[in-house]
Structure 1
Amino acid sequence: MDCSTCSSSINVVLEPTTSRCLTKSTTATHNFEVANFSLLDGMGAGKFVSSSTFSVGGGDWHVRLYPDGDKPPEKGTPASVSIFVCFLGGDAGIRCKLSVGLLDANNNNLMNDQDHHQNLNFEPAGDNNNTNRREEWGWSAFMRKSTLKCTELTVSCVLTVIKSHMEDMNTIVVPPPSLHEDLARMLRDGEGTDVALVVVGGGETETTLHAHASILTTRCAVFRALLVVSETKEKAARRVVVEDMVPAVLDWLLYYLYTDSLPDHCYYEGDEGGDNKAVAMQHLPVAADRYGLHRLRLLCEARLCSWIDVESVAATLVLADQHQCLQLKDACLRFIAWREVLPAVMKTDGFQHLANTCPVIMSEILSKVASPDASHS
C-alpha cells in the first residue's frame, strides 16, 4: 500500500536585529599667533604666512593668512586680509564646521560688529584623491586692512569635525582599558609600597617618595639593578638614595613608569599657573637619560616642542644640544630663525647667556637665519 504524508509548513521567525547611525563630533581650537604683523604689509596678493600643522578628527590642517589678500582687490574695493583653513590630508567621509576669529595681543576681539564666527559647512575629499572638491575654506575679505592697527594678532580657528557611522546594536561594547588609571591611583594612594626613594640635593631638604618594587624593576633596568637585594634582607627595608634631582621631577618619572605617559600638568610647587612649565619640564629629559628611559625622553621632547616660545627657546635649545635631542633642537633653531621672532628672542636673558657660552650653537643659528628657508612663510 502506498502512503503519502502532507506536512504542514514550518514558519521560522528570526529574532529582531537593531542598528543605528551614530554621529560624533570632535572640536579643536588652534591659535595662530602672528608677531610684527605690520612687517608683513606689502608681501603682495596671493602671498601668505601659514601656521604649523594641527590634527583634528583624523585630518591634518593649517591656517593661511594673506596680509594683502589672496587675490588683488577689484577696482573700488578696499584691500582686505584673507584667511583660509586648508585640509592637508586624512580621512574621507567627514563633514566640518569652521569658525574663525581675530584677537589682539590682549585677546580682545578685533572683529567688532563684523562676525566671522558663522559656520562654514564643507566636506574634505580625504585620501580618496577626489579632485572635484576644494581643499581650503575661508574668507577672501575677512577684514579690511585699514581697520587692522595692531602689531601682534592671533587667528583663532575653531574646527569641528563630524563623523557618522553605522553601529550594530547586537554587539557588546567593551569600555576602554583603565589599567593606567588604576596604576596611577596605586602610586598616588601609596598602598602596598615597599621601596623608599630618598631625594637629596637639588637645593631642597631630604624628601622621601614611596613606590612599588615590582613596577620599578619591571619598567626600568636601572632600578632593577639598584633594587637587587639578598634573600636575607627584608623587602620593606629597601631604600634608594636619589641625588641631584628635584622631588617633583622624580615624581613625574615615577608617574611615567606606572602609566607610560606624562602627567597633564608638570610644574613646580608655587607655579600652579604653569608660568615656568617649560623650565620645569627641561629637567625631566635629563632624568630620563639617567634612568635609560628613551621613550620618556621623546615624550618630553614632544611636549617641550609644543611649548616653544620667545622666553624659553634659548634654554630649550641648549638642553636639546646637550642631550642630542635632534628633533627638538631643529624645532628651536627654526623658531629662532623666523625673522619676525628673532629680534624678540635676542632681547631675552636666555639668549644672552647662550651667546656668551655656546659659540657652536650661535654658529648654527646664524646658518639657519641665512638659509633661504628662514622666512615668515
Structure 2
Amino acid sequence: MAEQCKISAAMVSEERSFARSYVLKVDGYSRAKAFLETGKCLTSDPFSVGGHDWTVLCYPNGDNRNHAYYISIFLRLESADAGDVKAKFTLSLLDKNGQPVPSYSRASPVLTFSKKDSCLGYPDFFNKADLERSAHLRDDCITIRCDVTVIHGEETRIPPSDLHQHFGDLLENKDAADLIFQVGAQSFSAHRCVLAARSSVFKAELLGTMKESSAANPIEIYDVEADVFKSLLHFIYTDSVPPVLDVGMASHLLVAADRYNIGRLKLICEEKLCTHIDSNMVATSLALAEQHGFHRLKEACLQFLASPSNFKAMMASDGFEHLTSSCPHVLKELVARILPAEWGVAKDVVMTMWK
C-alpha cells in the first residue's frame, strides 16, 4: 500500500516560528480511494510549528459513513505532553499554478488542541465527485496547502478599519478645508487633495487650470442638485452610500458618478437600479442608460420590457413620453426584440413607421 500511494509534506514558507505553511501532495489519489475504505487515512510526515509537532490526515473516502462522499482533512497535534495548544489553520486545494482555489479553501477559528481533542478539521472538506470533475485533480494527484498558526497568550483582536470615519469627520468638521463649492443656494467645504485622489476629473480640474481661481473663489456647480452633490462628497470621503438609497437618488448619483468618473459609485448605483426595475421607473431608467451609455442598466431594462404586460404598463407611465421624445431609436430596438422572428414583415413595417 505504501508503494502505491503516499502523502508528503514540504515547508514552503515561514514568517515566524509559530506560523508556517506546508504544501501536501497526495500521489495516487485513485489508488488511495480504491484501497482505503471509509475511516482509513493517509498521514503526512510530522512538521513543527510553534514548538509542537503536527501531522495532516487525509481520508479519501471520508472519516465515517456520514461523510463517505467527501474527502476529510484533519490537522492533528502529535506532541503528547503539550497540554492545551491554541492554533488556527487554513486548508486550501491548490490549482495548477499553485494558487488556492477559493471554493476549496476552509479557514478555522482559533481552536484548542488537547489530549482529548488532538485532531480537528473538516470531515466534509470537499465532495469527491466535484473534485474528480474539476481540473484540480491532475496526474492522479491533489495538492493541498496547510497554513498553521500557533497562538501564544491571548490573540490580538485587530479592530476593523475606521479610516472612513476619520475622513467623514474631516468633511463634517471642515478642518483645513481649502475649497468651497456653490451648488444652488447651498455651499460645501472640501479638501482639494482628497477630491483629486478619488476622482480623475476633480484631479484634472483642481490641480490643473482651475487651481488658482478655485483657491479664492467658490466653484459653481450647475449640473448636480445640492442633495446629490452632498451624497457625492460623502461617498468620496467615506466610500459609502446612505444605508437606505432610494431609486431616485441612485439615478442622480449615477449621473454624478459618471460625470466625475467615480467607478465604484457608478457600479453601486447601477446595481441598485438594475435590481429595482418596475413599470413606473423603467422608461426613465432606460432613457438614462441610453443617454449616458450605462450598458448593463440598458440591458436590464430591455429584458424587463420584453414582457408584453410590462411594456404595456410602461407605456402608461409618466416617463414614456420622455423616452419616446429623447430616445426613439431605443423603442425601435425594443420592438425588434419583442416581436417574434417569424414576424419579419411586421418588423419592417414598424421600423419604417419610426423612421
TM-score w.r.t. length of structure 1: 0.48
CA contact (8 A) 2:250 2:270 kept: no
1:9 counterpart residue number: none
Paired residue for 2:233? 254
Q: What are the ranges of 5 or more consecutive residues in structure 1 without an aligned counterpart?
A: 1-11, 22-89, 95-122, 132-165, 201-205, 267-276, 373-377
Quote how far apart the aligned CAs of 1:316 are. 0.3
1:27-57: CA deviations, max 9, x gaps? xxxxxxxxxxxxxxxxxxxxxxxxxxxxxxx
> C-alpha displacement at 1:196, in angstroms?
0.8
Give the deviation of 1:210 after TM superposition: 1.1
Percent of pairs with identical residues? 31
State the shift of 1:247 in Å.
0.8
Asked if residue 351 in structure 1 is aligned to residue 317 in structure 2, the reply is no
Deviation at 1:91, TM superposition (A): 4.9
CA distance in 1, matches of 2:266, 2:234: 14
Query: How far apart are the structure 1 equivalents of 2:283 and 2:187?
Result: 33
1:356 positional shift: 4.6
Compared CA separation, residues 298 and 371, structure 1 to 2 (3 A): farther
Go from structure 1 to structure 2 and tell me whether the alpha carbon gap of 1:239 and 1:330 turns closer, same or farther (over 3 Å shift): same
SS in structure 2 at match of 1:252: helix
* 1:18 aligned to which of 57, 76, 86: 86
Q: Does residue 172 of structure 2 align to residue 188 of structure 1?
A: yes
Specify whether residues 369 and 235 from structure 1 end up closer, same or farther in structure 2 by C-alpha distance, changes over 3 A only. closer
| Equivalent of 2:221 in 219, 242, 245 | 242
Find out whether 1:222 has 2:201 as its counterpart: yes
1:279-335, Cα deviation, whole Å (9 max, x unpaired): 232122222232233333232211211221121111000000011111110001001
1:177 aligns with 2:178: no
CA RMSD of aligned residues (A): 4.0
1:29-178, aligned counterparts within 5 Å? 91=103, 129=130, 170=152, 171-178=155-162
Match of 2:310 among 341, 344, 359: 341
- Going from structure 1 to structure 2, the CA distance change for 1:126 and 1:348 (only over 3 Å counts) comes to farther
Contact between 2:287 and 2:326, CA under 8 Å: does it hold in 1? Answer: no
Calculate the TM-score normalised by the size of structure 2.
Answer: 0.51
Deviation at 1:369, TM superposition (A): 1.7
**CA shift digits 1:12-38 (9 cap, x unpaired):** 9757423589xxxxxxxxxxxxxxxxx
Amino acid across the alignment from 1:337: A
Question: CA–CA distance in 1 between the matches of 2:167 and 2:289?
Answer: 31
Residue 318 (structure 2) pairs with residue 318 (structure 1) = no
Distance 1:314 1:128 in 2: 47
Deviation at 1:367, TM superposition (A): 2.2
Are the structure 2 counterparts of residues 174 and 127 from structure 1 closer, same or farther at C-alpha, using a change threshold of 3 Å?
farther
CA distance, structure 2, for counterparts of residue 217 and residue 265 of structure 1? 27
The answer as to whether partners of 2:183 and 2:221 remain within 8 angstroms in 1 is yes
Corresponding residue SS for 1:320: helix
Instruction: Report which of the two structures shows the higher radius of gyration computed on alpha carbons.
Output: 2
- CA apart distance, 1:360: 0.7
Aligned mates of 1:174, 1:351 — CA distance in 2: 53
Distance of 1:279 and 1:356 partners within structure 2: 21
Q: Secondary structure at the match of 1:198?
A: strand
The corresponding residue for 2:32 is: none
8 Å CA contact 1:355–1:362 kept in 2: the answer is yes
SS in 2 for 1:18: strand
Q: Partner letter of residue 18 of structure 1? A: K
Unaligned runs of 5+ in 2: 1-79, 90-101, 107-123, 133-147, 342-355
Which of residues 183, 196, 214 is equivalent to 1:199? 183
Higher relative contact order (CA 8 A, sep 6+): 1
Q: Hey, what's the Cα distance between the residues in 1 that align with 2:127 and 2:156?
A: 30
What is the aligned partner in structure 1 of residue 145 from structure 2?
A: none
1:358 Cα deviation from its structure 2 partner = 2.7
Contact map agreement 1:194 1:236 (CA 8 A) in 2 = yes
The 3-state SS of whatever aligns with 1:282 is helix
Quick one: distance in 2 between partners of 1:236 and 1:358?
41
> Higher helix proportion, which one?
2
Secondary structure of 1:197's counterpart equals: strand
